[in-house]
Amino acid sequence: MNSSPRQEPDIPLAEKLFDELRRRTADGPGVTRESYGAGEQAAHDLVAETGRTLGLEVETDHVGNTYVTLPGRERFAPKIIVGSHMDSVPQGGNFDGAAGVVSGLAALSGLLRTGVTPARDISVMAVRAEEGCWFPETWLGSRMALGNLPADIFDQLRRIDTGLTLAEHMADCGFDPQTVREGAPCLDPAKIACFLEVHIEQGPVLAAEGFPIGIVQAIMGGPRYRDARILGTYAHAGGAPRMYRHDTVAALGQFITEVNAFWKELERDGRHTVFTFGTVATDPALHSFSRVPGEVRFCLDARGCDDASVRSIRETVASLARTVEQQHGVSFAFGLDSGPAVLPMDEGLKDLLAVIAERRGVPFKKMSSGAGHDAGAFIECGVPTAMLFIRNENGSHNPNEAMDLSDFAEATRVLTDFLVEYR
Ligand SMILES: [Zn+2]
C-alpha cells in the first residue's frame, strides 16, 4: 500500500463536466434527464465524448449503459466498475447520480496523468434509468445489465409521461430490448471484482454533523405496507359513547404514537431506523363530520440497516397493532409486505476506504443509505460493493441540492487511491 499517495484526480475536468451537464440538460430551475429520453441521452453522450477525448475505451451495452474503461495490466482479470446513474427526476438537481460518474472520470483522468496503469481494468459505468419516477421501477439500467429482471417487464412498464413501454423507449433510443427479453445479460458478476458508487447524500446528516464524506455500511431494508387498513365500525358521532366505538382513526392515532415511541427506543439503543406513514386516508364517499370512521387506510414504510433491526421492526409493529386492536375493538389488515431486504456493503471494501480516508485526512462518517441505489443491484448479484456519500445540502430530487466541489474532490481522492490500491 502506498504510504504517500501521488495520484490526484482531475478536479478541473469534473468542474467542466458538471457545468456542461447543467448546460445541456437545464430545465427551469433544475435539470431534466428523463430515463431513455433526450436529457439522459445528452448526459451519456457527454460521458462518451469525455472518454474518447481522454483516449480511453468507450462502449455502450445493448440496454444503453455507457462504459469508459482504463485498461489494466491484467486485461482478463475481473474488473473494477465505478458507476452511478445519469437520469434525474423532472427538474431535479445536477449532482444526484451524475456526481458518481463524474467522480469516476476525474479519477481515471488523474491516473492517466500520473501514468499509473492499474492492476486490472477500471470501467466507469454511466447507468440508465435508475430513478423510479419515469418508469414505476428502480435500478432498471443496472438490473437489465446484470440480467436480473423478469422478461415480461419490458412490455409492461410504461413511462409515466409518454405512456410508451420500456421496450419502445429503448428501441427509440437505438437499443435492443429483444436481447434483454431473451435474458442475455451484459455483465457477468463473476467478471466484476467490485462495484463502487459515489453519490451525494440525500439527507441532512453529513452537513449537520460536519463530515465531508460518508462510508455507506448498508442500503436499508424493511417492511413496506403500501395498502394497510384498519377496520372498525361506522357510527353516529353523537350517539356512540367511547366504550361502544370501533373508531379506526383513533386507533391509527394511537398506533402511530406507539410506533414513534418504539422508534425513539431503537434510536436510544443506537439502531438507526426510519418510519414513515406516507399516506393516511378515510374514504371520502363514506366519511363525514358527524360520523365515527369505520375504516382508515394508511401506508407504512419502515427501514433498518441490519437484519436484526428489521426483524425487531416487523415483530414490534405486529405486536403494537395487536394491542391497539384490543383497546379499540378494531382489526388491522396490513396487506402485502413489499419491503426489500437490507443490502450490506462489502466489509473489505469499506475497510479499505476507511484506511484511505484516514491516511488522506478526510473525516468520514460510517452511515447507512436510506435510499436505494444502483449499488443495490450489484449486491443482489453477489458483487462485492461499496458506496461513498458526499456531503450535500438541501436533500436531492430538487434543483437546490448543493454539493461543494471541495467535498466532491475529497471523495474523488479517496476513490482514486482505492482504484490504485485495490487488490
Ligand atoms: Zn441517485
| pLDDT 10s digits, 304-327 | 999 999 999 999 999 999 999 999
Query: What's the CA-to-centroid distance between 360 and ligand 1, angstroms?
Result: 26
Distance CA 379, CA 308 (A): 19
Largest CA distance in the chain: 84
Per-residue pLDDT band for 4 (boundaries 50, 70, 90) equals very low
Q: What is the mean pLDDT of the chain?
A: 95
Residue span(s) of the chain under CATH 3.40.630.10 come to: 11-219+342-421
What pLDDT is recorded for position 222? 96
What average pLDDT does this structure show over 140-157? 91
Distance CA 40, CA 385 (A): 25
Query: What's the CA-to-centroid distance between 200 and ligand 1, angstroms?
Result: 8
Query: What's the CA-to-centroid distance between 30 and ligand 1, angstroms?
Result: 15
Look at residue 205 and tell me whether its pLDDT is greater than 60. yes
Look at residue 119 and tell me whether its pLDDT is greater than 80. yes
Per-residue pLDDT band for 181 (boundaries 50, 70, 90) equals confident
Query: What's the CA-to-centroid distance between 96 and ligand 1, angstroms?
Result: 5
What pLDDT is recorded for position 1? 44
What pLDDT is recorded for position 151? 81
pTM value?
0.92
At the topology level of CATH, where does 11-219+342-421 sit? Aminopeptidase (3.40.630)
Residue span(s) of the chain under CATH 3.30.70.360 come to: 224-333
Look at residue 127 and tell me whether its pLDDT is greater than 70. yes
CB 397: neighbour CB atoms within 10 A? 17
Q: State the CATH architecture for 224-333.
A: 2-Layer Sandwich (3.30)
Query: What's the CA-to-centroid distance between 199 and ligand 1, angstroms?
Result: 7
Look at residue 5 and tell me whether its pLDDT is greater than 70. no
- The position carrying cell 424493511 is 222
Query: What's the CA-to-centroid distance between 50 and ligand 1, angstroms?
Result: 21
64 contacts 169 by C-beta, under 8 angstroms: no
What pLDDT is recorded for position 182? 83
Copy the grid coordinates of residue 356: 484511505
What pLDDT is recorded for position 2? 45
* Ligand 1 ion local residues (Cβ < 5 A): 96-97
What pLDDT is recorded for position 86? 98
Query: What's the CA-to-centroid distance between 346 and ligand 1, angstroms?
Result: 20
Query: What's the CA-to-centroid distance between 372 and ligand 1, angstroms?
Result: 8
Look at residue 385 and tell me whether its pLDDT is greater than 50. yes
